[in-house]
Chain A
Amino acid sequence: MISLAGRDILHGWSKYVLTGLGLGLLIGVTLTMAGVYRGMVDDAHALLTNSRADLWVVQKDTQGPYAESSSIKDDVVRSVRGMPGVAAAANVAYLTMQVQKDGQDQRVMVVGMEPGMPGAPGYLVTGRHITRNHYEAVADVKTGFALGDTVRIRRHDYTVVGLTRRMVSSGGDPMLFVPMKDAQETQFLKDNDAIVNDRARTAANPAFNRPGSPGLLEAVQNLQTSSRSVNAVLVQIAPGFNPEQVAEPIRRWKHLSVYTRDGMEDILVVKLIANSAKQIGMFLVILAIVSAAIVAFIIYTMTMGKLREIAVLKLIGTRDRTIAGMILQQALGLGLIGFAVGKVAATFWAPAFPKFVLLLPGDSVTGLVVTLIICALASTLAIRVALKVDPGAAIG
């Protein structure tokens, strides 16, 4: 038996393929939206994995350092290092800011870290790690900086000595790693006018500038202009220890909040991007409905255009299931063309997106199945019309 659907498609293939192309672009948008969501989740996972930490020690009763602000003193790390089960611990500071790149603003997350410790970049694609205490930086390739470039952060210039990859914040901003002391200064240091103002105010305060207490005013003023705070302490646990087993004494005795990898994943993946996920979910539902409406309209129009032929087919004894199959195959064919075009389009335009778009094979398979289901459902309207055609209409 010849394929009636195939012959009909070949007869008007240009119109059919163009329709599939239009549908494909819509499917491409749908796949990309799913990819944006996957990219956000992957960014969150990358952030946690790249930090190489098992525990995040943050300010008590906060969900820092990524979802909320957290500030703890930088000497907390020493006491954490002394807790049982802690293999390594290091201070980290995170600061999202704009830096200049070729005269253009570039949004980055500045990370203050201790080289070789948790929170530092694990591998470099080129260059070397930071070896000096000040004014060197390692940048993610997405910042656009090259080795040897100079980055101005606040009042200092930093030389890019290494480049890394897939080191991004939970929001997808590429990271710029600098030494911890520089990050502290960048994050907490006041501008010169504020410092002068504060010094004058302190000097005018008789409590800090009283006779018989030499050095008191200077000590207070130094305290005002220096920063001893960090956002979190990242902890690697020793082999054989359970993360929760190490976290509990820190919570109890140090009066800090401690999150395990699972806890931090929950904050980043479930809580932080919950609204974005819902937003994207709504878009996907709307796009699915629009796609279904388009397929239904196209197939319905195609069917209405050949009611006479359908009447003739029924008159000469064609079974209902053959006619329904013809319409269903055309709808599924449209879905297949649309999906192929959409998949290719999404693959080509995904790298051009500013944030990471992750197109998972599993999502593509789901997308294909959903597309075919939508096409099958959308064809039911046209099938109903075709099956109601009176074979007598061919006679008149």
Chain B
Amino acid sequence: MNTMNTITQGGILIEGLRKVYGSGDTAVEALKHVNMQVAPGEVVGLVGPSGSGKSTLLKCLGAIIEPTSGKMTLGNEVIYDNGWKVKDLRALRRDRIGFVFQAPYLIPFLDVTDNVALLPMLAGAPNGASRSRAMELLTALEVQHRAKAEPSQLSGGEQQRVSIARALANKPPVILADEPTAPLDSERALAVMHILNQMAQQAQTAIIVVTHDEKIIPTFKRIYHIRDGRTFEEAGLGLTL
């Protein structure tokens, strides 16, 4: 796959990313020259043991912490470039990055529709259009029948599907999924992966799935291993779901 060509049309490109915590003798280099490329519509795995730098990389990708150096491009927009960064990281997270967490972390006092519609609303979309978009996604993810339910009334799988819908609500070029299948059984885990692949294809979204879950690792076509702050690319089995 010619990744560089597709990157120019979106996706994720990371070049020489470093992150150092602290300074002087106490400095810890969590990420050492990380390189990654994820094309639009592609789902890649990010695997690594505890302390390997996974969380740090995810936080850099999610525009939560700033890398010390290196360059990062999301979609067609350069986010970090050796000390320079986009001005409004909060808006960037809202408009350009979707998040799916290990636990769904839906807002308990909003119903399913408004949990999804909240993102477009935060971006300034009218309530009606936001709710239409939410219903569209909930229908695609087959949870439209729970649209008026509260998160606490949903099963674990339904909650995770709603959180995927929320991640897709603002049509971001990038979705970061942190252990999205960890609390699910094999069948539901594979169902979630199927949905992520489907959504990646439909919306041409680049998705990075951080995981330890051996059930889903065979589903990736490409896997990035991270160890001691460095990434290594590996071809995956890419089993069809």
Contacts and interface: CB of A to CB of B under 8 A. Distances in A.
* B interface SS class: helix
Nearest to B176: A395
Contacts of A12: 109
Given A1-B121, A315-B62, A396 B178 contact: yes
Contact of A309 (B95, B107, B117): B107
> Nearest 3 A-B pairs (CB), nearest first?
A317-B94, A11-B109, A8-B109
B64 interface: yes
Interface string A1-34: 1101001101110000000000000000000000
* A interface SS class: helix
B114 interface: yes
A309 B122 contact: no
A120 to B, nearest CB: 67
A317 B91 contact: yes
Interface stretch (B4-12, B98-106, B139-147, B194-202): B98-106
Contacts of B119: 316-317
Nearest to A310: B107
Contacts of B76: none
A309 B166 CA distance: 14
Contact residues on B (Cβ < 8 Å of other chain), bracket: 20 to 34
B182 to A, nearest CB: 11
A37 to B, nearest CB: 42
A19 B65 CA distance: 39
Contacts of A312: 101, 105, 107
A1 B127 CA distance: 6
A115 interface: no
A395 B109 contact: no
Given A319-B90, A395-B62, A313 B107 contact: yes
B55 interface: yes
Given A2-B127, A7-B110, A396-B178, A317 B122 contact: yes
Nearest to B58: A395
Interface string A304-340: 0010110011111111001000000000000000000
8 contacts: A2-B127, A11-B150, A309-B105, A317-B92, A318-B122, A390-B64, A392-B62, A394-B99
Contacts of B127: 1-2
B108 A396 contact: no
Interface in B95-136: 95, 99, 101-102, 105, 107-110, 114, 117-119, 121-123, 127
Interface residues of A, number: 26
A390 B62 CA distance: 13
A316 B118 contact: yes
Given A317-B119, A317-B122, A395 B64 contact: yes
B99 A2 contact: no
A317 B65 contact: no
Nearest to A8: B109
Interface of B: 55, 58-59, 62, 64-65, 90-95, 99, 101-102, 105, 107-110, 114, 117-119, 121-123, 127, 150, 166, 178
A314 B118 CA distance: 12
B99 A315 contact: yes
A392 B57 CA distance: 12
A171 interface: no
Given A10-B109, A392-B64, A395-B62, 5 more contacts: A4-B109, A7-B109, A315-B62, A316-B166, A391-B93
A391 B64 contact: yes
B90 A395 contact: no
Contacts of B123: 317
A284 B118 CA distance: 43
Interface in A264-286: none
Nearest to B163: A312
A2 B114 contact: yes
Given A394-B99, A394-B101, A316 B59 contact: no
Contacts of B117: 2
A241 to B, nearest CB: 72
B108 A316 contact: no
Contacts of B121: 1-2
Contacts of B102: 396
A46 B170 CA distance: 69
Given A7-B109, A309-B107, A396-B178, A316 B93 contact: yes
A105 B206 CA distance: 88
A17 to B, nearest CB: 15
A320 to B, nearest CB: 8
A322 B91 CA distance: 13
Nearest to A318: B122
Nearest to A391: B64
Contacts of A4: 107, 109-110
A7 B105 contact: no
A319 B94 CA distance: 10
A1 B109 CA distance: 15
Given A2-B127, A317-B90, A392 B107 contact: no
A202 B181 CA distance: 113
A168 B171 CA distance: 76
A328 to B, nearest CB: 17
B207 to A, nearest CB: 16
Contact of B118 (A2, A319, A395): A2
Contacts of B95: 317
A274 to B, nearest CB: 51
